[in-house]
Amino acid sequence: MTGTQPCLAAAFVAAMDRLGPYEPHPALAVAVSGGADSLALAILARDWARRRDGSTLALVVDHGLRPASAGEARITLERLTGLGVPARLLSLSNLKHGPALAERARIMRYEILTDACHKAGILHLLLGHHAADQVETLAMRVLRGSQTHGLAGMAALHETPSLRLLRPLLEVEPALLRDLLTMNGTDWVEDPSNRDQRAMRPRLRHYLARQTPDETRLPGAIAAVARLRAREEAETAAELASRTTIRPEGFALLSPGRISPSALSSLVRTIGGMAHPASPGQISLLAAQPRSATVAGVRIMPAGRFGDGWLVVREEAAVMPPVAASGDITWDHRFRLRAHRTFPSGATIGKLGPDAAGFRDGSDLPSAVLRTLPALRIGKVLAAVPHLGYASDKSGWRITALFSPRKPVAGPCFVPAR
């Protein structure tokens, strides 16, 4: 064993320790493409888990976009087996060539990986992004005009409702990972798309490889911005906790006075069920002087009977049209509805809309909220409004509705690599 292997193993252990905690016998999943980085990650994860009486499962995704991909996936499974790492093949069957291929492939890959982890009862999914990937990501974000938070690079830990995504190699140079495989007598797959100069990331990789390496300034700058982002997100979360109340009907109460743009942006994104924040230009003026306004599918209006301050509610005109009802459905990117019996043909979930007039006397909710509540209709008949406890057949229709927007108003804060 050379000097690089124990140093790499120690760095990996230190990174994993920072990204904890873990259960007593940690179960890890590793996303393995077959390339050098993810195969080396599988070895490091295997050793880390064994020392803690845990387990490791490698997940190999065959995207099916190249004729050789199935064979590469099979070879990767064989290599993992030879390394003593249990592996499972996951196949993307409906990914087609066309616009935004890389983004669509990334989304589908994470979806199938998340589903596999859920079925296996695994909470921790390790990803093989390393120091060079971090620099390339930063360069791409600079070219795309990212603001401060984007310049923090990739997070070392990202938590979703069902999974923890860990990137323990963000400070590891890729050459060390290849050295590890060479020392273990393990070969790897070279994806030709990584050399395709038509894509931005390979072009940047080629350009950066020709520059004089700077091993201190750029990683240090990324780390500094990452720590700044983590601190700002923690401050925003504290501000939202003290200034807002999120109601289960999908609206928020905001106390009077100016609010930071980041806090208002998070609030608008959550109430609107959006995946991305509104334009900073739209938010900054409202944050400095809150007033009645409509922004990014959300209304800001006086709190009225709720006291001083403001209501932040979904804009009715922006609400999703009715959709066919099913036993477990997410509607308007905001509400998850579950039924305890099978819906008949013609059942839909949509906004309460004009039918809200019949509930005004029995509810303290303003009309702007009532009209945007999810409602079940069978044909044209209003059958249930879960938030109001209404059901046309009290003994039969049991529906629960949970406010579950795509982004929480204050989720886990950004976790830097160091």
Shared-domain flag, residues 252 and 390 = no
pLDDT at 197: 46
Measuring CA to CA, which residue among 61, 58, 51, 109 is closest to residue 85? 58
**Which is higher by pLDDT, 99 or 31?**
31
Shared-domain flag, residues 60 and 171 = yes
Q: Is the pLDDT of residue 271 over 90?
A: yes
| Structural domain of 324 | 320-403
Side-chain-side CA neighbours of 25 within 13 Å: the count stands at 4
Q: Is the pLDDT of residue 206 over 90?
A: no
Residue with tokens 């290849």: 178
Asked if 134 contacts 417 with a C-beta cutoff of 8 angstroms, the reply is yes
Q: Is the pLDDT of residue 151 over 90?
A: no
pLDDT at 218: 67
Cβ-in-10-Å burial (0-12, 13-18, 19+) of 249 comes to buried
Q: Is the pLDDT of residue 6 over 80?
A: no
Task: Extract the tokens encoding 416.
Answer: 């830097």
Last residue of a domain, one of 316, 336, 351: 316
Helix, strand, coil content of the chain in percent (nearest 5): 40, 20, 40
The CA distance from 418 to 406, in Å, is 28
The CA distance from 57 to 84, in Å, is 10
Shared-domain flag, residues 267 and 326 = no
Shared-domain flag, residues 305 and 332 = no
**Which is higher by pLDDT, 236 or 411?**
236
Label residue 28 left, alpha or beta by phi (over 0 means left) and psi (-120 to 50 means alpha): beta
Residue type, 33: S
Shared-domain flag, residues 146 and 163 = yes
Domain membership flag for residue 77? yes
Q: Total domain count for the chain?
A: 3
Asked if 56 contacts 30 with a C-beta cutoff of 8 angstroms, the reply is yes
Asked if 200 contacts 141 with a C-beta cutoff of 8 angstroms, the reply is no
Shared-domain flag, residues 270 and 337 = no
Last residue of a domain, one of 316, 343, 358: 316
Shared-domain flag, residues 312 and 325 = no
Shared-domain flag, residues 205 and 126 = yes
Alpha-carbon distances of 259 from 211, 239, 282, 309, rounded to whole Å: 44, 8, 14, 11
297 alpha carbon, distance to own chain's centre: 21
Q: What is the average per-residue pLDDT within 382-411?
A: 84
pLDDT band with cut points at 50, 70 and 90 for residue 207: low
pLDDT band with cut points at 50, 70 and 90 for residue 192: low
Q: Is the pLDDT of residue 407 over 50?
A: yes
pLDDT at 215: 47
Shared-domain flag, residues 119 and 67 = yes
**Which is higher by pLDDT, 160 or 268?**
268
Domain membership flag for residue 29? yes
Q: Is the pLDDT of residue 146 over 70?
A: no
Task: Extract the tokens encoding 154.
Answer: 């990739």
**Which run of H or of E encompasses 279?**
none
If you average pLDDT over each of 40-49, 209-218, 232-241, which comes out highest? 40-49
The CA distance from 268 to 284, in Å, is 12
Candidate from 163-177, 211-225, 279-293 with smallest mean pLDDT: 211-225
The CA distance from 313 to 252, in Å, is 7
Residue 269 backbone dihedrals phi, psi, to 5 degrees:
-60, -45
Asked if 271 contacts 250 with a C-beta cutoff of 8 angstroms, the reply is yes
Task: Extract the tokens encoding 225.
Answer: 């911005």
Tell me the Cα Rg of the chain.
Answer: 25
Q: What is the average per-residue pLDDT within 27-31?
A: 98
pLDDT at 395: 45
Order across the sheet with 390-391: list the strands. Answer: 323-324, 347-351, 374-378, 381-385, 390-391
pLDDT at 5: 66
Domain membership flag for residue 188? yes
Domain membership flag for residue 225? no
403 alpha carbon, distance to own chain's centre: 17
Q: What is the pLDDT of residues 336-348, one digit of tens each?
A: 998 877 888 889 9
Question: What rounded mean pLDDT belongs to the chain?
Answer: 87
Domain membership flag for residue 220? no
pLDDT band with cut points at 50, 70 and 90 for residue 387: very high
Shared-domain flag, residues 34 and 47 = yes
Q: How many residues does the chain have?
A: 418
Domain membership flag for residue 227? no
Domain membership flag for residue 417? no
Shared-domain flag, residues 310 and 334 = no
pLDDT at 391: 83
The CA distance from 318 to 238, in Å, is 29
Domain membership flag for residue 258? yes
